[in-house]
């Protein structure tokens, strides 16, 4: 019988950074636990605090050729 890997383990590495560290890669970042509050942070910029509290930031997407927000393509019109 094959061993199953938990769904939370992925072969892809997730880019993360903490408040006070330099941003490792330009892209759209959000605080862990709140993927809706994304902001564009550029490589080398110091990762910000969230409301004065240190935070773990997770990269949600890279900047495309026009710098579009990664969720922009998810909106549809009726």
pLDDT of residue 55 exceeding 90, the answer is yes
Higher-pLDDT residue of 70, 5? 70
Q: What is the mean pLDDT of the chain?
A: 80
Distance between CA 74 and CA 48 in Å, rounded? 27
Residue 27: per-residue pLDDT:
96
As a whole number of angstroms, the distance between CA 12 and CA 32 comes to 17
* pLDDT band per the 50, 70, 90 thresholds, residue 12: low
Q: For 8-32, what is the mean pLDDT? A: 87
In 1-78, the DSSP E strands lie at 16-18, 27-31, 39-41, 56-62
Distance CA 32, CA 72 (A): 20
Separation in Å, CA 55 to CA 5, 19, 65: 28, 5, 28
């Amino acid at each position: 019988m094959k061993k199953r890997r938990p769904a939370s383990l992925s072969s892809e590495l997730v880019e993360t950074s903490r408040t006070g560290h330099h941003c490792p890669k330009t892209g759209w970042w959000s605080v862990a636990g709140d993927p809706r509050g994304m902001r564009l942070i550029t490589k080398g910029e110091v990762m910000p605090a969230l409301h004065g509290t240190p935070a773990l930031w997770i990269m949600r997407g890279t900047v495309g050729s026009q710098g579009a927000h990664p969720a922009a393509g998810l909106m549809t019109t009726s």
